[in-house]
Structure 1
Amino acid sequence: MPRLSDERDATPRRDAVSCPQRTTNFPKGISSTRCAVLALPLLALSACGGDDSDTVAPIAAACSQAFFTATWAADPSVSVLEVKDYKAGDALPNAAAEVAFNPTLSQTAVADLCFVKLVVGPAHAGPADAPSTSAGVGIEIWLPTKEHWNGRFHGMGSGNWGGGNDSLVGKISETATEAADGTFRSAPRVAGQDGSATSTTDKGHTGATHLSGAFLMNPDGSINTTGWENWSTRGLHLQAVRTKEAIKAYYGSAQKYSYFSGTSGSGRDAMAIVQYLPEDYDGVLAQMAGGNWTKWTTAWLYPQIVYQRDLGGPIAAGKLTSVSKAAIAACDVVGGQHLGYILDQSACRYDPTKDASVLCAADGGSNGTSDCVSQAEARAINKVWYGMTADGSVPDPAVDNGFDTGLAGVRKWYGFNRGTDITGIGFGASLIGADMVALELQNSQFAGPTFKNATGNGAELWKSMSYAELANAFDLGVALQPQFANASAGSPDLSAFKARGGKLIHTSAMNDSAIMPGGQDEYYRQVESMQGSLGATQTFYRLYQVPGQGHAYGSNGTANPDANNPVFGPGELMPRLIAWVENGTAPEGLQLRTTSTTAPVRTMPACAYPAKPTYVGGDVNTASSYACR
């Protein structure tokens, strides 16, 4: 996919009345010419593509519909839907997702903010009730007052399939994503607390649920290529460009630095930005990043296919928990003590098919409880840990525990690490993975029940798929990347982002039950290979694996509720990213720390991959007892 490195945001200038056109090979829907006259209140400014450092004389900016309508008067693709001047303490029209995770948060503006809601065409026409019908890309912008603006722009991504309220008048985006420890902040909270101009986007659809991919299929069942373009990169690029234009108009000067943060599905957005939109941001924070989107979402169905094909139905949650806890107990010993979570997953070769303590008596085991597992169930769990294969095979963990070989032969994708709480995988799989399979097969009936289409709604036909049929859908997802606008965001070529001085911090949760950690490790190795060395890669890109960490919605992803595993602190990584970008201070000496009140307090060094915390002696709960090796 072509990079968008030549298009810069329009910079108002007083002395320019015309400028030559600049063109480049942009994806469909992104203008190749950045030259327009902006009719601003009190001062007519000509805007031509220029450097981000350009500034203009102060203007009489106002948080009003008239002001921002005039700002984009020369661009018919932009419609200003709503502008509102919020004062600190004013009620917000609806709660962002942050409130669901922290009900104590107020649903009010925490500072004086100017709120701007846009929709940027072109539209994607269609029946009013079709998920694929779209007015364009919705964008919400939150601008602190000039005296409280810190000179930065912070773009935020939205998880799963995105969508939401960004183009709906009278509501605000539900997007809330930032910290890896389960702490979430909405865009107005980030703008009010940090002082950054902040924005979100629906990436071209107003789906009622972030868990449905129905908008990517046209009513006739064909691929919605416009929807994929908006979702994959165009919406993200427009978010950056239009926010920067609003910043220049409102403050009279450009931002000094631009940052993007994304977790989970919006971690995919973060990876798409560094790959395909390298000029849009100076620093990017990607957490539990869902890059290689079509691969891991398709593979998310694999555990359920295993259960259906091998067992005729799912394994009871108590059985899964019992085996996962046994894996932890077998592999968590450090310095003679049980940590309660696995520190080094690559060293764990626990095999429930050979563990009498979890096997039922009928299968030669000694477990007489209702949570005992049969040999068939134990083998199925080994398959979940190893990852997707084309024929449902799994090697003996003593030979290959999932870390000994990469993706070769029949192995399609990675599995979930031992000790992970895998009891809830079916929920996500049926809502996201199933929709992905429907889009790959171009048959809506393979999707989950939230998938609506004129050719037929989701009927969960995925449940009847064989191993070979799921593998075929996986391969189609790879082959269809041109039609899907390179939505997987799996390109390891980050040379343009590095060349512009960009910095990327990426975290991976080692007990993530949604996005397989192995895929993120593999991606880093591919980038390193293209860069030529680890040293060359770590000058701009660092990956941190967090043992015991779950997905974005909690700090403990293990089956052991008492794991008490150390994690990154709330909001810790963004300041580190800012220091790296603005001061050249690389993120050295990072530490993980327990956030629960459960004793003991634990600290652990956060090691830049491929290094991992290695015990060297002393108190196992203290970071000084470990070295990154």
Structure 2
Amino acid sequence: MRKPVLSSVISAAALLVGAVSALQAAPSASADRCVQLKGKQLGGALIEDAQRIAKTEPLGADFSGPVPAPVDVCRVRAAISPVPDSNIKIEVWLPDAWNGKMVATGGGGMNGGLRNSDKEHSAAIARGYAGVIDDVGHDSASPAGKWGYQQPERIVDFGHRGNHVAAVLGKAVIAEYYGKPAQRSYFQGCSGGGREALMLAQRYPADYDGIVAGAPAADFTGLMTSGFWNSQRVYRLPESASLPPKAKLLRAAVERKCDKLDGVKDGVINDPLTCKFDPAELQCKSGQDQASCLTSAEVNVAREVYRGPRTASGSKILSGAAVGSEAGWEPMLVAKGVVANLLPIPFFQWIVTQDPNFTPQSFELERDYALAKSRLGALIDATNPDLSGFTQHGGKLLMYHGWEDGLIPAGATLDYYAAVRSRMGDAVDGNLRLFMMPGVSHCAGGPGPTVFDKLDILDRWVDGGVAPERIVVSKYENETSMNTGSGKLLRTRPVCAWPKIAQYKGSGSTDDAANFSCEAPRPATR
């Protein structure tokens, strides 16, 4: 009876050694193997450079400065031109201690992930993922949008093709370097990267096993149109020129009225859909403009911002801002705001109208929205509700959006989710989860808990096969735009798979997620 036991022990030891070897896939000759990738044709591209980057040496760079290598890495650089006038720059980061999986990271605004999301990408590499990152066909340092002027193929690269060819190349490089293909492939992105994430699920359903789409700028043409529309509400009415700083008054009033609807006073609006608020509650009694109240013109503008842009016939262009998101309104209302002008101007000037003389003053809602949709909607907007190709492939899509997002209205993501459910019905339940995050701003930040390990949740879902129903989110003393935190842990809360809402059980600390349960939402009042 001892021999089988000894044999089992030896077999287990061999498996353990094999597992360790698999995790440390790059052997002592990894430096040579890295350099030898240079000049090879892989995944339709010529490898232009392959360089060994030691831990702490500069690996990439974002807008705040150099990004050091978190571990020893082989950094591969390539450029691919799937068609003439296209040139997509791609990097593949190959850690020595590989976990057998691949992750790609999307960018933001009108940029790709290359030099735009290097820091977040580096965090995945530190955990053993082989990483793919690309510029979707243009340099993020170039003037926003000007890269698309009379360059239709670059617009296609930005719209959807860039991330697809990067996925093909990344898988080929990984298989060549490690001697075996990636067991799993994931894509993560927020904002513009969230749009890229949804586009991959819709157009290239076999590229990734799992996708994270945060605060997606899915209806990009609608979002850019909405930016102009919002800024016009403010700056074409002299009486409303003080609305942006008064947005704090609105936020405070909403908090006073609706914070305790969930039974917890914590500065977080748990379910904005149940908050019945009219900005007329702040209207100046004397009719005169005062810092502590809203003029009638400002009340009307605030109502329009909550409602969202509409065509003359009443058709919705994009959802309005959620109640409780007022603290984040400034970027969409002030003259130099990101979604008021900084992105819409170059988008309409260089990409939609292809007119260098286009100005905000020449913008006309009906005409220019229709032009943007007809020319670019099919290329750029990630709004197709048919995810059947992705679900048939077995793909898992994890979506999240902060209710206090002032850049991209949370309601736009709810509209897309509803469209998918309407198109696909219950069949999509095993492949799609949406988490609406109370008190969270654009991608991260805000008064609510915002830190959670989205990549780990996705990985456990893909490998374990059980869709997440509840995510525990944390609030730390110090937080970053990458959903990471440090210092003292202040609070944990659950976020429930939509449409369920986290409800306090009535006893225990309200800063402990264990004292909340996921319940059906109360009827909406707006």
Equivalent runs, 1:141-290 vs 2, <5 Å: 141-145=92-96, 148-163=97-112, 173-176=115-118, 185-191=119-125, 193-208=126-141, 212-218=144-150, 224-290=151-217
| Residue 337 of structure 1: how far off its partner (Å) | 4.9
Identify if the C-alpha distance between structure 1 residues 475 and 541 changes in structure 2 by more than 3 Å, giving closer, same or farther. same
| 1:88-107 equivalence runs, <5 A | 88-92=55-59, 95-97=61-63, 99=64, 107=67
Deviations along 1:26-81, one digit per CA (max 9) or x if unpaired, are xxxxxxxxxxxxxxxxxxxxxxxxxxxxxxxx9x8734555331344xx8x62333
Q: 1:555 aligns with which of 441, 445, 460?
A: 445
Structure 1 position 207, deviation (Å): 3.8
In structure 2, C-alpha distance between the alignment counterparts of 1:96 and 1:384, rounded to whole Å = 33
Give the SS at the match of 2:357.
Answer: helix
Contact 2:108 2:116 in 1 (8 A): no
Note closer, same or farther for the CA distance 1:297–1:248 as it changes in structure 2 (3 Å cut). Answer: same
Aligned to 2:16: none
Distance 1:283 1:252 in 2: 23
Q: C-alpha distance in 1, partners of 2:273/2:412?
A: 14
Give 2:99's aligned amino acid.
Answer: N
Q: 2:75 aligns with which of 82, 94, 115?
A: 115
Give the match's secondary structure for 2:79. Answer: strand
User: Quick check: 2:258–2:275 contact (8 Å CA) kept in 1?
Assistant: yes
The yes-or-no answer on 1:480 pairing with 2:385 is no
The answer to whether residue 417 in structure 2 is matched with residue 524 in structure 1 is yes
Deviation at 1:296, TM superposition (A): 1.6
Shift of the alpha carbon at 1:625? Answer: 3.8
Q: CA deviation at 1:285?
A: 0.8
Q: How many residue pairs align between the two structures?
A: 476
Structural mapping, 1:537-548, within 5 Å: 537-548=428-439
Q: Which residue of 1 aligns with 2:38?
A: 68
1:586 corresponding residue in structure 2? 467
For 2:124 and 2:512, how far apart are their aligned partners in 1?
A: 32
- From 360, 375, 380, the equivalent of 2:284 is 360
The alignment status of 1:84 with 2:33, answered yes or no, reads no
Match of 1:48 in 2: none
Q: Is the aligned partner of 1:565 residue 2:448? A: yes
Question: RMSD of aligned C-alpha atoms?
Answer: 2.7
Q: For structure 2, which runs of at least 5 residues remain unmatched after alignment?
A: 1-26, 479-486, 521-526
Q: Deviations over 1:170-202 (max 9, x none)?
A: xxx3423xxxxxxxx3434422x1111101111
Distance 1:592 1:90, change over 3 A: closer
The CA distance in 2 between the partners of 1:337 and 1:163, in whole Å, is 40
Residues in 2 aligned to 1:344 and 1:293: alpha-carbon distance in whole angstroms? 26
Using the alignment, how far apart are the partners of 1:322 and 1:151 within structure 2? Answer: 51
Please tell me whether the aligned partners of residues 240 and 301 of structure 2 are also in contact (alpha carbons under 8 angstroms). no
Q: Is the 1:616–1:627 contact (alpha carbons within 8 Å) kept by the matching residues of 2?
A: no
- For the 8 Å contact 2:104–2:132, the answer to whether it is kept is yes
Identity percentage over the alignment?
27
Contact 2:331/2:407 (8 A) holds in 1: no
* Secondary structure of 2:319 counterpart: coil
Query: Does residue 409 in structure 1 map to residue 314 in structure 2?
Result: yes
CA shift in 2, pair 1:372/1:543, >3 Å? same
User: 1:305·1:463 contact (CA, 8 Å) conserved in 2?
Assistant: no
TM-score, normalised to structure 1, is: 0.70
Paired with 1:335 and 1:346, the residues of 2 have a C-alpha distance of 12
- Distance (Å, rounded) in 1 between the aligned partners of 2:317 and 2:243: 26
Q: 1:462 matched to which residue of 2?
A: 360
SS in 2 for 1:114: strand
What is the alpha-carbon distance in structure 1 between the residues aligned to residue 434 and residue 386 of structure 2?
16
2:7 equivalent in structure 1: none
Letter of the structure 1 residue corresponding to residue 121 of structure 2: A
1:611 paired residue number: 500
Amino acid paired to 1:327: V
Are the equivalent residues in 2 in contact too, given 1:592–1:605 (CA < 8 A)?
yes
Structure whose residues are more often helix by fraction: 2
Indicate if the aligned counterparts of 1:258 and 1:282 stay in contact, CA closer than 8 A.
yes
Work out the CA distance in 2 between the residues paired with 1:463 and 1:240.
41
Flag the structure with higher strand content. Answer: 2
Offset at residue 387 of structure 1 (A): 0.6
Give the C-alpha shift of residue 303 in structure 1.
1.4
| Other structure's SS at 2:380 match | coil
